[in-house]
Amino acid sequence: MLVVRPAGPADLDHLLELAILSGPGFTSLPEDPDQLAERLELGRDSFAGKLAPQQCWYTLMLEESDTGDVDGVGSVKAAVGLNRPFFSFRLVNNTQSSPSLGVKLDHQTLVLVNECTGWSEVGSLFLKADRRKGGAGRLLSQSRYMLIGAQPELFADNVLAELRGVFTPDGACPFWDHVAHKFFPMEFDDADRMTGSTDKQFILDLSPRHPIYVELLPEPARAVIGKVHPQGVPAMALLESEGFRPNGLVDIFDGGPTVACGRDNIRTVRDARRLTARIADEVEAELPALISTASVTAFRAVRQKAAVEGDAVTLTRETAEALKVRDGDAVRVKM
DSSP 33: H
CA distances from 240 to 171, 233, 237 (A): 27, 11, 5
Total residues found in the chain within this entry? 335
d(CA 252, CA 113) in angstroms, rounded, equals: 10
d(CA 134, CA 131) in angstroms, rounded, equals: 7
The residues pairing with 77 across neighbouring beta strands, listed in sequence order, are: 57, 121
Contact in structure between 258 and 88 (CB atoms under 8 Å): yes
Q: Residue 278, class by beta-carbon neighbours within 10 Å (0-12 exposed, 13-18 middle, 19+ buried)?
A: middle
Residue 203, SS3 per DSSP: helix
Residue 109, SS3 per DSSP: strand
Give the active site residue among 14, 107, 178, 229. Answer: 229
Q: Are strands 245-250 and 70-77 parallel, antiparallel or unpaired?
A: unpaired
CA distances from 199 to 56, 77, 85, 161, 193 (A): 17, 17, 8, 20, 12
All residues at 6 or more sequence positions from 106 whose CB lies less than 8 Å from its CB, including other chains: 93, 94, 95
14 has catalytic annotation = no
d(CA 326, CA 324) in angstroms, rounded, equals: 7
Q: Are strands 312-316 and 307-309 parallel, antiparallel or unpaired?
A: antiparallel
Give 164's Cβ-side CA count (13 Å radius).
25
First to last CA, the chain: 18
Task: Cite the active site residues.
Answer: 229
